[in-house]
Amino acid sequence: MDFSRRWSTAAPGVIPLTIADMDFAPDPAIVTALQERLRHPLVYPQPYSTSGVAQDIGDYYRRTHRVDVPVERIRIFASTAAAMYVIFDRVLEAGDEVLYFAPSYHHLPDSVTAAGGRAVPVELHPSEGFDPEKLRSRIGPRTKAVLICNPHNPTGHQFSREQLRDLVAVAAEHDLLIVANELHSRLSHDGAFVPLSSVEGVSHDRLITLSGATKSHNLSGLGGAFAFSLGESLIPRLWAELAGRLPSPSALAQTALSCAYREDSPWLRTTLDVLGGNRRMVSRQFRENLPAVRFLEPAATYFAWLDFSALRLEGDAAEVVQDACRVALLPGAEFGAPAAFARMTFASTPDTLQLALTRLIEGLSPWHS
Ligand X SMILES: Cc1ncc(COP(=O)(O)O)c(C=O)c1O
Stretch that binds ligand X, among 6-14, 79-87, 89-97, 254-262 (CB under 6 A): 79-87
Q: List the interface residues with ligand X, window 29-48 (CB under 6 A).
A: none
Do residues 187 and 345 touch, judged by C-beta distance below 8 A? no
Out of 92, 222, 225, 253, the residue judged to bind ligand X by CB under 6 A:
225
Residue of 10, 53, 81, 364 interacting with ligand X (CB under 6 A): 81
Out of 117, 156, 212, 331, name the contact with ligand X by CB under 6 A.
212
Single residue of 220, 258, 322, 345 touching ligand X by CB under 6 A: 220
Nearer to ligand X, 222 or 364 (CB): 222
- Going by C-alpha positions, the residue among 80, 78, 35 that lies closest to residue 223 is 78
Q: Given the complex with ligand X, which of 139 and 335 has the nearer CB atom?
A: 335
How is 52-64 classified by DSSP, letter by letter? SHHHHHHHHHHHH
Tell me whether residue 283 is exposed, middle or buried, using C-beta atoms within 10 angstroms of its C-beta: 0 to 12, 13 to 18, 19 or more: middle
Question: From residue 273, how far is each of 218, 266, 270 by CA, in Å?
Answer: 15, 11, 5
Task: Indicate which single residue of 18, 55, 80, 211 sits in contact with ligand X (rule: CB under 6 A).
Answer: 80
Per CB under 6 A, which region of 130-138, 165-173, 212-220, 360-368 contacts ligand X?
212-220
Cβ proximity to ligand X, 80 vs 143, nearer residue: 80
Least Å distance, CB 334 to ligand X, is 11
Verify binding: residue 271, ligand X, rule CB under 6 A: no
d(C-alpha 365, C-alpha 91), whole Å: 50
Helix (H) or strand (E) holding 306: strand 303-307
Mapping DSSP to helix (H, G, I), strand (E, B) and coil, where does residue 361 land?
Answer: helix
Rounded-to-integer distance, Cα 141 and Cα 260, Å = 42
180-209 residues in contact with ligand X (CB under 6 A) are 181, 183
Select 45 or 154, whichever has its Cβ closest to ligand X: 154
Give the DSSP per-residue string, 132-148: HHHHHHT--TTEEEEEE
Element counts in the chain: helices (H) and strands (E): 14, 13
Interaction with ligand X in 86-145: which residues (CB under 6 A)? 105, 107
Contact pick of 214, 216, 218, 271 for ligand X (by CB under 6 A): 214
Asked if 22 is part of the footprint of ligand X (rule: CB under 6 A), the reply reads no
Tell the smallest beta-carbon distance from residue 362 to ligand X (Å): 29
Residues 6+ apart with CB under 8 A from 10: 16, 18, 328
Closest to ligand X by CB, 108 or 313: 108
304 binds ligand X (CB under 6 A): no
Q: What is the dihedral of CA 351, 352, 353, 356, to 10 degrees?
A: 120
Q: Based on the shown chain and the rule CB under 6 A, indicate whether residue 211 belongs to the binding site for ligand X.
A: no
**For residue 340, which of 363, 314, 309 has the smallest C-alpha distance?**
309
Which stretches of the chain bind ligand X, using CB under 6 A? 20, 79-81, 105, 107, 149, 153, 181, 183, 212, 214, 220, 225
